[in-house]
Amino acid sequence: MHPLLLWFHRTGSPPEFYRLSGLFLPWMYALAALSGLPALYLGLFRTPADYLQGDSFRIIYIHVPSAWMSMFIFAFMAFAGAMALIWHVKIAEVIARAAAPIGAMFTAVTLITGSLWGRPTWGTYWVWDARLTSELVLLFLYFGVIALQQAIEDPRKAARAAAILALVGLVNLPVIHYSVEWWNTLHQGQSIRLFASDKSTIDSSMLAPLILMAFATKFWFAASLLARARVLVLEQESGKDWVRQMIRNEQGLAS
Amino acid sequence: MSDAVIWPLLKRDALLLFRRRSETLAPLWFALIVATAFPLALGPEAAKLTRIAGGVAWVIFLLASLLSLDALFRSDVEDGSLDVMLASRRSLTLIVACKMLLNWLGTALPLLLLTPVIAYAYDLDQGALPVLLLSLLLGTPIICTFGALAAALTAHLRRGGVLLSLIVLPLTLPVLIFGAGAVEAVITGGSARQPLLFLAAGAVVTVAFGPWLVAETLKTG
């Protein structure tokens, strides 16, 4: 067997994954804190207020990275699902299942922070803007995947069904996005594009915390994903020898 | 199609459609009731009803199509027919395609026939009716395909009711937007070409790949 394939198979085995993820987990949390806390400090205290929006613009340091993550995690989940479908990798199934609630959380945070920012800026918590509507549909898609994962009792069958749905959803996402945009122009909706003209002229003092925060959310996702996946692995492998052995060792150390 | 397996299957499902008349007619009654509910809720002004007719027809179809989905594969899973189909050396894709076609004939076709009545009752523009019918003709196969996929994903569960709508509705939103948008475009004096072409493209893609995807989904269950 090719050494790379061998490594892949070994890392994909539950006990090895459990061991490795245990090593990585604290580092991921540390990196998330190291990038996230300075980003928050810079964004909330050091960056000058925006000449148009005053201090309310600072919410973008939470909002925009969350929005990026909401889409990234859906693609990630669909990709892990594809691996589960094609190669029946147990760990890919677990990873996809662990990713779904985190993605839903980021999507919810995106919507909530967006509406909090919308109130002082647009004068309303919610408009049927194309971006907002697409993000809401994305949340519904996450809910569908999560509901399907939880409805089917056999975790392996649940993983395969959810993977199919995630893949179909992923193919559908651009269609949904563009159809909603077209619908919005048809209905003469508000099309406030505050950042369309600012994109190139955003000041570097404003940009640095944003980039840092984008890294922080990625590390946080990795940490959260590993922590969830470890619990799921233990749950699914609870009858296996390696888990028993581990529990025994821990109890032996404790007593 | 004089196939030793496919033909009896088609005949069986068609017979079931006729025998379970109350179930077969359920989407129709549902459509009529919802079509009556909108004017009651929004008031009888003709101008308002004219504006919403296209959108209402689409929402009605979307909701009515959910009614028949739960029964699409469940009985075959529960009584072991699916295992027999899998064991027979026929392509499950072909069998699933037949079932999906019958599902479309049972739900979409009656509603298509009912649409002119609803359009007349809502005082929809004469010029917009052909566009509405064409958009339904192109869009309903897409909705039925996503519906069949959701039915296959939940076929092994005891109840798929709420889960079905949670899966189907987000996926079919583009169809709703283009379908209702086509009618809207005609009413406001624009062209319905773009949304209809989108629907046609979607219909081609889903009809081509749908049965295969649904069959594979049933196999993984």
What is the tens place of the pLDDT at every residue in A131-155?
888 899 999 999 999 999 999 989 9
Q: What is the C-alpha separation between A185 and B96, in angstroms, rounded?
A: 39
Residue A52 domain-assigned (yes or no): no
Of B149, B1, B139, B19, nearest to B72 by C-alpha is B149
Q: Spell out which residues of chain A touch residue B54, defining contact as CB-CB under 8 Å.
A: none
Highest mean pLDDT: which of A40-44, A161-165, B26-30? A161-165
CA dist list (Å): A36 to A101, A103, B114, B220: 21, 18, 58, 41
Residue A18 domain-assigned (yes or no): no
Q: Are A194 and A121 in contact (CB under 8 A)?
A: yes
Of B147, B117, B135, nearest to B210 by C-alpha is B147
Partner-chain contact B217 A182, CB within 8 Å: no
Regarding pTM above 0.85, the answer is yes
Length of chain B: 221
Largest CA distance in chain B: 59
Confidence of residue A254 (pLDDT cuts 50, 70, 90): low
Residue A185 domain-assigned (yes or no): yes
Number of domains comprising chain A: 1
Q: Does A159 touch chain B if contact means CB atoms closer than 8 Å?
A: no
Query: Higher model confidence: residue B113 or residue A46?
Result: B113
* Residues of chain B under the 50 pLDDT cut: 1-2
Of B153, B213, B220, the CB nearest to A148: B153
pLDDT score recorded for residue B188: 84
Residue A212 domain-assigned (yes or no): yes
Helical segments of chain B, H only: 6-19, 21-42, 46-78, 81-87, 92-121, 128-153, 161-187, 193-220
Instruction: State the residue range of the domain holding A218.
Output: 23-44+68-190+201-235
Residue A1 domain-assigned (yes or no): no
Residue A112 domain-assigned (yes or no): yes
Positive or negative: CA dihedral A53, A35, A12, A105: negative
Partner-chain contact A179 B178, CB within 8 Å: yes
Confidence of residue A190 (pLDDT cuts 50, 70, 90): very low
CA dist list (Å): A49 to A45, A46, A114, A199, A205: 9, 9, 18, 17, 11
